[in-house]
């Protein structure tokens, strides 16, 4: 198998659920966010957003939703959302009513593509974090309480939560989970 540092980072991927109590510096955070922005985007619509959660009370609420206390301790915590709200505001400025049939971004195909784009951005951020020696865990558990999540994040119309991502300096060293052989 051919290898390099990126491939090694991807092959060594494992979920980290315990982080050192150390902040992530601003340059690293900016790098991770920029990498996410450079992920593939269907039709270049950029119809996703990543909300960085910094309020300890909101972190605690998300930990409650996910039934995972470590969520509240993540130095960096993001919730990736489908975001057609921004595009709806752009359409309004162009004279298109988002409630009308002219606003094509509200239909299921666009919703699916926006979800895909949010996942691609999350994965780009996660891979970049691993390449910098950080640890991550993807948080599907935040979707245990979608109405509560929408409420606590104050998400506007035409948005929908997809996944969360917790990032920090690992304070554990779990083994890499086995994968099914490629021949399967």
| Confidence class for position 106, pLDDT limits 50, 70, 90 | low
Place of tokens 């390449």: 131
Q: Region 92-107: what's the mean pLDDT? A: 81
What domains can you pick out in the chain, each with its CATH number? 14-168 (3.40.109.10)
What mean pLDDT is reported for the chain?
Answer: 92
Cα 33 to chain center, whole Å?
Answer: 10
* Closest C-alpha to 15, from 178, 174, 162: 174
Instruction: Give the whole-number percent of the chain exceeding pLDDT 70.
Output: 98
Question: Which alpha helices (H) appear in the chain, and where do they start and end?
Answer: 5-11, 26-37, 56-66, 85-93, 108-131, 146-152
Measured CA to CA, the distance from residue 56 to residue 67 in angstroms comes to 16
Token pair in block for residue 96:
């298109």
Res 9: pLDDT:
86
Res 44: pLDDT:
74
Measured CA to CA, the distance from residue 171 to residue 134 in angstroms comes to 10
| Confidence class for position 108, pLDDT limits 50, 70, 90 | confident
Q: Region 136-155: what's the mean pLDDT? A: 97
Q: Is 44 left (phi over 0), alpha (psi -120 to 50) or beta?
A: left
pLDDT in tens, 34-74: 999 999 888 777 889 999 999 999 999 999 999 999 999 99
Token pair in block for residue 72:
């509240």
Q: Region 85-95: what's the mean pLDDT? A: 89
Res 175: pLDDT:
87
């Amino acid at each position: 198998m051919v290898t390099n540092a990126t491939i090694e980072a991807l092959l060594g991927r494992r979920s980290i659920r315990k982080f050192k109590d150390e902040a992530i510096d601003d340059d690293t955070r900016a790098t991770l966010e920029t990498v996410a922005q450079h992920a593939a985007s269907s039709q270049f619509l950029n119809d996703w957003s990543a909300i960085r959660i910094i309020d300890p009370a909101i972190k605690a609420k998300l930990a409650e939703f996910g039934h995972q206390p470590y969520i509240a301790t993540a130095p960096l915590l993001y919730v990736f959302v489908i975001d057609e709200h921004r595009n709806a505001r752009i359409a309004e400025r162009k004279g298109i009513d988002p409630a009308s049939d002219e606003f094509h971004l509200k239909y299921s195909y666009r919703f699916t593509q926006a979800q895909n784009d949010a996942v691609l951005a999350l994965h780009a951020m996660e891979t970049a974090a691993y390449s910098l020696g950080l640890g991550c865990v993807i948080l599907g558990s935040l979707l245990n309480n979608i109405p509560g999540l929408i409420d606590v994040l104050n998400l506007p119309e035409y948005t929908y939560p997809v996944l969360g991502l917790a990032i920090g300096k690992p304070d554990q060293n779990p083994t890499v989970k086995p994968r099914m052989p490629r021949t399967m």
